[in-house]
Amino acid sequence: MVRHTNLTDVNNAAIKQAAQQLAEGGLVAFPTETVYGLGANALSPSAVAGIYAAKQRPANHPVIVHVAEGANINFWAENITPHAQALIKAFWPGPLTLIMQRASHIPSAVSGGQSTIGLRCPSHPVAQQLLQEFAKLSPGGNAGVAAPSANKFGQVSPTQASHVRSEFPDLTSNDLMVLDGGASEVGIESTIVDVSDPNAAPVILRPGHILPEQIEAVLGVKLGVAGGAKPRVSGSLKAHYAPATPVYLVKGSQINQLLQKLHNKGRVALLAYNHVLPDHNTNIDFYACPVTPQAYAHSLYSTLRQLDQSNYTAIVIEQPPESTGWQAVNDRLSRAAAAHQAL
């Protein structure tokens, strides 16, 4: 289960004001249980264009539409498959995004021109309250907030309000209202499952907190394997979620060799999983990583951000275990490290 921090710093008035800002076509950053989102009215192509401009993101990358618990999904999607219905019942609200066929009256701006739509119902209470308030201001109560992660394209996703503000120093609080809901519990982006094809097994497009085996247990079928013709997922680009400081991902047995290579190049941060101090440790700051995938994911992005601002010449990360429970963490680590060959 996803737990939530106590939300004392976001009051009802701020959430109502944020809903108003969305209704007027503006941008609102809001907490979810995964990461913070950069939101705009999903039914307004010009509001959605504001997200792309702020993120400096290519316009052919689709964004996820967030809806309140109990929202009418038939307004957003058509030909909703039994698999989609079963996953909604089992995991919403929660960190699961479903790719379905987009209803024809929904602007294609939210899906980068594709015929599908990514829908998610977040469980964070501030996100839920924002979505409910926005629905009150929307015709027929049909409201959706298009929201990618609230970071510049390719950068590490924000898990705290302060991260969002530092991502967009160019935007004033009038241009971008940031709701502070504390640190995101999950810490990495939602699991994305493509359930748009009634004739194919569902496919995981992005691993996350909700595991393949949990999804298979609900559906009673094996998941399919992602193929080349699947929809574009920007988080599936090889180098993504990457800090500016070079990140190297290595097995424990290779750490000493890499550290020797980096010797004399400046200070190095070592994120160690096994907590064994390396041989050559004069220029190395040692950080012990959490030992469960949930705790590791929770702190991963804030740790990478902190280290990125600490003037290291390199961030060396010891590969955690490769069992399925670690799949989402390993996915994000390999993308953060994709630009730099370790050895």
- Reference 6, options 132, 254, 140, 180; nearest CA is 180
Under the binding rule (CB under 6 A), the answer on residue 124 touching ligand TXA is: no
Under the binding rule (CB under 6 A), the answer on residue 148 touching ligand TXA is: yes
Q: Of 231-250, which residues contact ligand TXA (CB under 6 A)?
A: 231-235
Dihedral, 266, 270, 276, 280 alpha carbons, nearest 10: -10
Residues 6+ apart with CB under 8 A from 14: 177, 179
Angstrom distance (rounded) from CA 163 to CA 161: 5
Min separation Cβ 17 and Mg ion, Å: 25
Strands 145-146, 64-66: pairing kind: antiparallel
Under the binding rule (CB under 6 A), the answer on residue 31 touching ligand TXA is: no
Output 15 or 270, the one with its CB closest to ligand TXA. 15
In the shown chain, the binding pattern of residues 170 to 209 toward ligand TXA, with x for contact by CB under 6 A and - for none, equals -------------------xx-x------------x----
Residues 6+ apart with CB under 8 A from 83: 195, 202, 219, 221
CA–CA distances in Å: residue 153 to residues 123, 253, 287, 306: 25, 33, 27, 19
Indicate which single residue of 128, 129, 149, 160 sits in contact with Mg ion (rule: CB under 5 A).
149
Min separation Cβ 281 and ligand TXA, Å: 36
Helical ranges in 194-322 per DSSP H: 212-219, 255-262, 293-308
Output 21 or 190, the one with its CB closest to Mg ion. 190
Binding site for Mg ion (CB under 5 A): 149
Binding site for ligand TXA (CB under 6 A): 32, 34-35, 37, 61-64, 97, 99, 111, 114, 116-118, 120, 122, 147-149, 189-190, 192, 205, 231-235
